[in-house]
Amino acid sequence: MATSAPEPMLEIVTEAIVVIDLVESTLTSNLFGWYAVGRQSLRDLRALIGEVGQIRGLRCVRSTGDGYLLTFYDPQSAEMAAIRAVEAVFELLGLISVRNREVSEERALNLRCAVHLGEVDVIPNDREGPHISMAFRLEEISRASLPAALNPIPPEQFPLQNYVLCSEEVAGILSRRAAHWELVSIGLLKLKGFPGWREVFRITSEEHPTDLGGRMRAL
């Protein structure tokens, strides 16, 4: 009887997970063409991600169609991976802000970013597991999500683009280990597929003032 080869052991690691979504990328591609604008925008974004991530433990860059799934790893400390990931995202927003001033309007990049930390299954050039789903759920949160949240900030104060959201896990790490980040609870939300209520935070930085949405009210 033939025996099937044993499945290789999956590597399971704790990584900071970042989901970056290019705002209105489909609309831009439809209006101005994928080959003329869309493709170059994604390539530019990928190049900038490489620039900010390489020195901060960027381990995985996976296209999601209109954005990227990134993971950051620190062999010494999982918490530091989360801090490096947030640093990378804010540096990316800074570079994009500079780039947007130099390119035509249709080539401008605007992002929605979400950061989470958790155990993931390492697949070559990809990651799997519920924490990956959680990061995508965070990224999906928008102004329209807030009326259903508990203790929400006013929807008008939630920016439309160029902002960073994070989970309670990442917020806890930042408040303990990186005082220069300001955290604002945007409310308690129910995230599809996850039980219970999750508090979601927006991260702002005085060093990287990329906020286009005005000041937020702290609850």
Q: How many Å apart are CA 176 and CA 4, to the nearest integer?
A: 48
CA dihedral 45, 48, 50, 51 (to 10 degrees): 180
Near another protein by CB under 8 A: residue from 147, 206, 214, 218 = 147
Segment interacting with another protein (CB under 8 A) among 57-65, 107-115, 134-142, 152-160 = 152-160
According to CB under 8 A, which residues from 174 to 213 bind another protein?
188-190, 192-193, 195-197, 199
Half-sphere exposure of 42 (CA within 13 A, CB side): 21
Q: How far apart, in whole angstroms, are the C-alpha atoms of residue 30 and residue 40?
A: 14
- Residue 115 is inside which H or E element, if any? strand 111-123
Instruction: Considering the complex, state which of residue 180 and residue 192 has its C-beta at the smaller distance from another protein.
Output: 192
> Contacting another protein (CB under 8 A), which of 149, 171, 174, 200?
149
154 sits near another protein (criterion: CB under 8 A): yes
Minimum CB distance to another protein, residue 144 (Å): 10
For another protein, the closer of residues 168 and 182 by Cβ is: 168
| The residue to which tokens 């924490």 are assigned | 131
Binding residue for another protein, selected from 103, 148, 160, 212, defined by CB under 8 A: 148
**CA 183/CA 166 separation, integer angstroms:** 9
* Residues contributing to the site for another protein (CB under 8 A): 146-152, 154-156, 188-190, 192-193, 195-197, 199, 219
